[in-house]
Structure 1
Amino acid sequence: MAGASNIATVETMDELNDLVKGQLTLFAVHYLLTHGNDEQKGLVLQLMKEEKEFVDLTDAAENQKQEMVEAMEVLRAETLQSINTNSKVRELTLAIPDCAVQQLQQAFHTQRMNQPGPSGNVGAMGNTNTIQKTESSTDNSFRGVPHIFPVELASFPRYLKGSLSCEKINGFIDVLNAAFVEKYKISGKRRNTIPPRLLKAYDIFKKTEHPLLKGKKFLCREDLHGLNTQLTIGKLELSMLTILKQRGNIKEERCQDKIVRYVLA
């Protein structure tokens, strides 16, 4: 009777063929389990067990596939939301007038100067000597890398900024600017006026100069050997340099040699 009920739902010849095959298979299984010998019964039971395991595995794979699709949809939605947020932040940042940005940078820098550093001294990173040297040694034509603001840092993707904070990046910017000032204070003099202790640094600076970068200020790893500075270029510093390159403050130049130069834009 069950077979007759199923036949009533058949609409195509292919469905009829599948139904007939299925009914014959069920009949064969029932016959072998009822009248077959022990070997035949064991074979039928093994086949039924394997078919059930296959169905279970197929169902599990389908469930995992569905979960993966749902997770990808959630990730896609979060990514689109992050992109929209970053775009809005960038639009708001670009809408700020240059004069207002300069005023904010100056106010932020003054606030950092008045805060005690880790050693208890007043000044960014607890190093007033480096900052004072930067301000007293910088000529009117030198414009260092400006500080970064939280709203600006928030516009960078997570994979780029990682766990870096504005305080960490701005501390690096202070040391970077100090290194630029010290280098070009030395290299801008004549060699016969350089103190003996600075001659090695002077020679390094001149050796790393390149005609393609004439009139531009840059730093490289080789320069740091001759500078009295805290600046190093490790993994963390490279991450912060990448952010400064994205901002347009620094450009990386190789000039057809192996020396990597970080040029002040």
Structure 2
Amino acid sequence: MSPEHPRPILQGAKALITGMANEHSIAYGCARAFAEVGAELAITYADDKTRGYVEPLAQALKAPIFLPLNVTRPDELEAVFEAIRQQWGSLDILVHSIAWAPKQDLQGGLLDSSAEGFGQAMDISCHSFVRMARLAAPLMSHGGSLFAMSYYGASKVVPNYNLMGPVKAALEACCRYLAYELGPKGIRVHAISPGPLKTRAASGLKDFDLMLNQAAQRAPLGELVDIMDVGFTCAYLATPYARRLSGETLYVDGGVNIMA
């Protein structure tokens, strides 16, 4: 069966998708994939500016829960999970697709990064996932799946990825430790590591077009992945077919990560 016509294997599952900015977002690919396999969606947006891009997408996907979420505001984070508790009573899937660093710290080398900028990047891009997991776990009384978006630069040096490399490395480590702590509750946790994608977040990286071209040339499959490739990978991992997988970092990059 082709991915264009997937089975509704997750019919009735409840999925929270965070970090959607527009139709090019990885989060949007995840939302579409989960919707296509039958899941019901809760979708968040970061601020009023982002809402204008995300709301039409949420409406098209028939998401019954649509709320603001700036992860630096505890009240907004708690409000999202309280809305899910009140409307659904449970949660099966959480996708964390949120990353941010101050531009001056992101575009300079790691040696030049400020303590404040590094701390902000770590809080928003990494620890916010831990905070979400803490709130999600009580709603996953019958088990569930948590996903965080990483990148190859977490494990290998990628020129110009700079301070986000250590931040994503910390995120991957958090996924492993959360998988250990939440495993007894039947909650599985994965870091997803897509190849380079043209998203709004990636546009802040220096020489990003060069990274795209190099990835396409090095990939054994000979082409870049897209947001739906990432989405369907997450959808598979959330199904019973992947029930014994947890704590993995899964590369969705056409095989680029295996190349020397």
Looking at secondary structure, tell me which structure has more strand per residue. Answer: 2
**TM-score calculated relative to the size of structure 2:** 0.22
Structure with max Cα Rg: 1
